[in-house]
A and B are shown apart, each in its own frame.
Chain A
């Protein structure tokens, strides 16, 4: 909870175009900056963070230390990559920016992202480090990206000059499968001088371990609650749909032994799920497929009643239903029939054409049809393919 003013020095030189830290070094850096800003402001609401770029035409302060997270995130947009990084000037300008902070009670901290080669002499860096130490400024160095001869040595020398009682840190991040921000989460830069880690860092680290950087779904509920909510809802829907599909697949495999009621229930369940999102036409289509796949012996009555409901509204659809039910009634293995039916592309296209909002010429629909023909798998998968595709169109 230490009260701190932080200046982050970003490297936006040409070396940042490289993609060894996915998606690009610059993007990885930007993510890390966002994470740091969030952590700092969360650990103490009076903390301020500022950002400056070190390359490009020259050192440029994008935002002076502020506690307004939105401002900081906004200034990260539209940054151009180019030029060479000027580490010495960057640190000195950062020091100046910190000197003019509004709240003099804040501790001064500079975080430097050193991704490109360091062209300064070790002596110069050491002198800068001494000056920082003299003015009680702590420095964190993130060494990533290029690793030419002497760079690590120079940065270590800089750190040694600045370091006062282990308040300054350096981290070396090699390119690898983990994102830059994820690796940073476990470093002292986030856990902050042995305070035991702020709650933010701990929870973010836990999430990162699960493969999601930062927050659940990669979106901060604070920053964008609607998006986070939408993502969560759609994830749950997909999960439910997959669960139902898995259930159905398991049941299909033992279909011959069990009664069709279970399937019926799950099918209609699925259909009713679909109903909540899609319109009635699609629902009827789903139900038609469902019913046609049921064991004819056990659930004919149900089928008839449901079909008659559907039939009243759309004669074409009713015809289709009739055909499919009759076919399945003849053959005990309705599954094969259904696939045959659906394999008949003209039949399927006629059904689809009758549905509003479905264009048989749509490439995705065609794709689905093609895949269905090639498959001889259970209906459920095909239904699933169709259902989400149709929902997508909505």
Chain B
């Protein structure tokens, strides 16, 4: 099976694609019986340092409904200079520029190693990147100071021609004009009044007889800058001004009486930001960066009233239908998110507060537009500061790791249809022959808009096999999918990345073992998890869990080897062996369990889960645990309570948290100060090793995880204890004996119990 693992790995490295099944069941019926849908995780902009973009336009299939891009899978008639589209079988003439091609002189896009290729195209005006800061001023002095410094710092990280704008808000909203000399000028809006885009533009003086921006015409006509330039200015021009302006920012001056929350008009502020960009730079890559230190407390989009005695809604309130502002607020932010997305603008939310800030209501702003969501305790923490800095990280070639306004177009061969996608995208409602009627995730379209993406942004795309059971295995024996991603590169170039993949068809009845062997259980786990999380957003938690369980049982029934009604006989092949364990941890994960999480936290976790790539997603589902001890080199250990031993240091990475946990003995040694003694230098090294490893993870992770350093018995140890499989609990401790591990005080079932039940149900003939 090593071959399939290699195959999967190669494919992922080359194309950024991982399919749940790498050999496809050849009929609709068979496909449904496979339980796990045919789907893939696509990382559209996967970093490919070895792939230089080509500087010409892609060649498209001439059939208007197809327009697939010429790719290595196409049949080419070099003499006639014709090529056949592998999706619709249309025969196409090569364009004149291709007159010189032959078997030995092939353009890159025909070479098999270029199944993924990137084109740089000259299309439309090039507009600089746009960053619009939307800053909450209802912060504590310290927090505001830290935020101001971060913002000032960020100016130096922006490309110098990028346009930057500033909106501050508290009880009122101020849109700062950046162009003026002398007196600083801002437009002020009431925080309680919902304004239409038109009103906002009128009030900002942006609406003037619309001069349509013609394609290809340079944008910087003498008149053009005047409109928008008042609020959005190139960084190099207003650097100093803006630094001063940020420096002079004061806390919201309106008095807040005892027992009240400050009046915070996040809803209107965002609405104005969206309206401003909508009016000035529609269909141009832009980032609205919202920095907020608390929940919106007035106006449209308010999440909680200003009385401190009424706490912000909890899951309990939501279940009891007791969250009076939630629906209205969610609707407000959804409308904004959709408007922003329609214009290709993304919204980042940086929420730093000890209490909730309304991420639940605002989540769609980041989710639908591909924006970042960052949650922290304070702006004055390294978690926020470094995360924010990392937004402006640069990739291997010195370019920003951000791209804008992407449009993902998926084309499939006839036997396959597209059921939907789950990820930071919105539907473009492109109906076509390859769109399935059944929907999984955001369906009903073959095109999605991703307003902002980075090299790790990953979408789950679900397909449906439509080939009828009695129809023959499709011609050529391979099914193909093409992903065409058009986007605005951070260098403001327009680029198109095309990935074309093909997989073999197999008859599920005769060749089930092939299909089984080509199962990618990691991809499948993530794909199923995404479906589950997607469902959890709209359905009751227990329903989702039941659905997941049923799917798991069905999968085990289908692919397990067992004798009926004999749980002990149950076996799973190696390619499925880890899958139930993933599901066990997924069930316990904060993505599906709301217990102990605030609605904001759930939204935050789910947000990240729906956009990270496979590796990170797996870490989120099943955190990684490393053990450091004198008994050998650092090793990964089971995420199990039995791994918690007194003479071990554990390092757990849950994606959101990095926990370093010192076992009981180690902690005592440390307290005794052995690490300071020269003769125990090895102990010092042992203590240092997990720190170094953690640092390495911290370096690359976005957003910055919460870094927790704790020890046996420490209150923070709960982060570890809540994650490990509770194989030893207070209930069974004595049965297990005393030799190892730490009991977890929980009534949760352990993996062992879970597996026992699974086996029982899988083999049960009643099921």
**A and B interact physically:** no
B interface residue numbers (CB < 8 A to A): none
Q: Give A residues with C-beta under 8 Å from B.
A: none
